[in-house]
Chain A
Amino acid sequence: MREPKLNGMFFLLALLLVWELAARAEWVNPLIVPAVSKIVGTFSELLWSGQIPLQILASLKRAAVGYALAAAIFIPLGIFMGLFDNIRRALEVTVEMLRPIPPPVVIPAAMLFFGLEDEMKIFVIFFSCAWPILLNTLDGVKNIDRVLLHTASTFGLPQRKIIWQVILPASSPQIMTGLRVSLPIVLILVVISEMVGSTDGIGYFILDAQRRFRVAQMYAGMLALAILGYVLNQLFNLAHRSLLPWHWGMTKRME
């Protein structure tokens, strides 16, 4: 396993070297594609001056609130829809009607309502990750072995205990899947909503840098975003591992 990793590293370094040379020798217009060293320099400058951390913090705040809100509402809703067939059937059509709306086109509607404030982005994020969270939770609950539920009620467990001790643990892998699928969607929608209507945040920063023709800053912002995406994914894995250690082990072995 070690050798392929090295191969990949060398290839990546070679690519970056070619990029650097191409920009320095002006085979490509360095105004549009600046040298890697310059991008990295700008990146560290922006990092230490606090500008990039500030923008990322603004984005993260919106992302976290929208994501948490969606989880807090749609996980319970998914559980209820999974448990009670008539609730599911009652909401099915409405969900199916709203689901095909691509989340970015909700931005203008949200802008009408909330202006360019944080609430606008939070709403858009909330809307965009609602469906993966809801549908995965619903599927998870619906696919619970009925014997588990019957056993629990035979032993006289009250409804509340059944939910906390049987249903939630049994459907948690699927709920986790929903949350995982939503993570990149959240990031995409933060960036889009900041590009379309905002005065701060990393998405705004990147687009603004492009419009002012500060090209190195634009690439630096993208680098920051890539790192952010990577870190968030790692954090999610960490949470997954500590919350559902048994499931984490299972998925690892399957890979």
Chain B
Amino acid sequence: MNGPSKFNWTGWLVFGLFLLLWECGSRASPKLQLYIPPVSQIVVALSHLIVSGQVTTHLLTTMRRFLEGYLLAAAIAVTVGVALGYFRFAHSLTEMLIEFLRPMPSVAIIPVAILLLGIGDGMIVAVTVYASTWPILINTIDGVRHIERTLIDTGRTFGLARRRILWQIVLPAASPYIVTGLRVSLSIALILVTTAEMIAGNKGLGFFILDEERSLQSSNMYAGIILVAALGYVLNRLFVVLQEKAMKWRRGMVAREGL
């Protein structure tokens, strides 16, 4: 519907107007300025934070925690998911457990994690793993269960070893589902990392944003929010690029995301 390469002039114009309105509105009212500083001030604060390197450690910490948690969750969830999807008996055992744990908002695990692991990196990574496991796990189970039995039976008839059936039939056939799960978990992992950093952290962007709010440095706080948003955006783009590379064979079948 929308031309892929056509530059959206009106869209950017409206966004520019929005920023201009923000700038003028904030400059017009000194009271408002305390809460919502002018855009120009936020941009200055942001570039200052980046140039002085003040925010680098926070950004790197958040990224490291995110990657550790996300990748660990992916490894665990895909492995367990394939096993549970493939072996009906194992699935029947754990189905109730999964249905019972899943509806609980995953952030509620943070207090338990603090209790068990204390305040620190381990806790933050652990809650990220816990929360981002669910979407991948559920989707992987679904994906494996939806594979046509004939595919696997054919593989067997041709005498393929179990390992090769796994790598050459089960994983590729379930991969669209797995990718969906991975995608959902991407934003969940970022939510959990920043939340855990806000509740119990002394480093990281989540901590930085809340800390700046508490010391009423609102420009720095907004700069931090922009950084997190940028991080989320870049991670998402990266995911899409990797996904298109890996899933070239079924491009066009994948639903379009966003607008």
- Extra pairs beyond A8-B95, A108-B212, A225-B104 (14, CB < 8 Å): A5-B96, A7-B93, A8-B96, A11-B93, A96-B258, A104-B191, A104-B198, A107-B198, A112-B35, A188-B191, A192-B195, A210-B114, A225-B105, A226-B103
Q: A3-B92, A196-B210, A222-B104 are in contact. Are A101 and B225 (CB under 8 A)?
A: yes
Q: Which stretch (A48-56, A83-91, A244-252) binds chain B?
A: A83-91
B190 touches A (CB below 8 Å): yes
Contact of B10 among A90, A188, A192 (CB under 8 A): A90
A32 in contact with B191 (CB, 8 Å): no
B198 in contact with A187 (CB, 8 Å): no
Measured CA separation A89–B35 after assembly (Å) = 30
A138 touches B (CB below 8 Å): yes
Cβ of B7 to closest chain A Cβ, rounded Å = 10
- Which among B18, B105, B116, B224 has the greatest number of chain A C-beta atoms within 10 A? B105
**Size of A's binding interface in residues, CB under 8 A:** 63
24 A–B pairs (Cβ distance < 8 Å), ordered by A: A3-B92, A5-B95, A8-B95, A8-B97, A89-B8, A90-B14, A92-B8, A96-B259, A102-B191, A102-B194, A104-B191, A105-B206, A109-B221, A109-B222, A112-B34, A138-B259, A184-B105, A191-B105, A191-B107, A195-B107, A196-B198, A209-B111, A226-B101, A226-B103
Measured CA separation A226–B199 after assembly (Å) = 21
Closest residue on chain B to residue A112 by CB atoms: B35
Measured CA separation A7–B233 after assembly (Å) = 43
B259 in contact with A135 (CB, 8 Å): yes
Cβ of B169 to closest chain A Cβ, rounded Å = 24
B175 touches A (CB below 8 Å): no
Count of inter-chain pairs, beta carbons less than 8 A: 173
B225 in contact with A95 (CB, 8 Å): no
A97 touches B (CB below 8 Å): yes
A90 in contact with B11 (CB, 8 Å): yes
The 8 A CB mask of B201-236 against A (1 = contact, 0 = none) is 000011001101100101001101100111011001
Q: A102-B190, A135-B258, A206-B111 are in contact. Are A112 and B95 (CB under 8 A)?
A: no
Contact of B15 among A97, A105, A108, A191 (CB under 8 A): A97
